[in-house]
Amino acid sequence: MRAYTTYLWLNTKKKREFINITEELEKALEKAKIREGLILASAMHITAGVYINDAEDGLIADIEEWLEKLAPFRQDYRHHRTGETNGDAHLKNLLIGHQVLVPVTDGKLDLGPWQQVYYAEFDGQRRKRVLIKVLGE
């Protein structure tokens, strides 16, 4: 088994952003020269996440609205007693999850017809990274 690791660095323009990173995973897979295996994408920050879903603007807006209903920005999070103001971002990370694992078959990401991989930023406007690790033969 071989392994290949790279990092995707992001600096979002807004506090909350959803970025399609499928193409970045495809580039990493090409460099790894692995035909069969797995590729992991993992947000290396506790106020961001990675998920797989449809690349449709209305759905992305629905996801953002859903997350805000479940973990709204509020002033009274206990976490804010530390001087931070991003308690909601930590909770949104728990809802989305911080990583995904995608099968690799015949040298390609083995995603469903509408599936895309997204980086979800909940406390942005600063430099962050995603670990991309490819394992296989």
- Give the rounded percent of residues in the chain with a pLDDT score beyond 90: 100
Q: What is the secondary structure of 4-62 as a DSSP string?
A: EEEEEEEE-SSSSEEEE-HHHHHHHHHHHT-SSEEEEEEESSTTEEEEEEE--HHHHHH
Going along the chain from its start, the domains and CATH numbers come out as 2-136 (2.60.120.460)
What are the phi and psi torsion angles at 87 (to 5°)? -55, -40
Report pLDDT digits (tens) over 55-75. Answer: 999 999 999 999 999 999 999
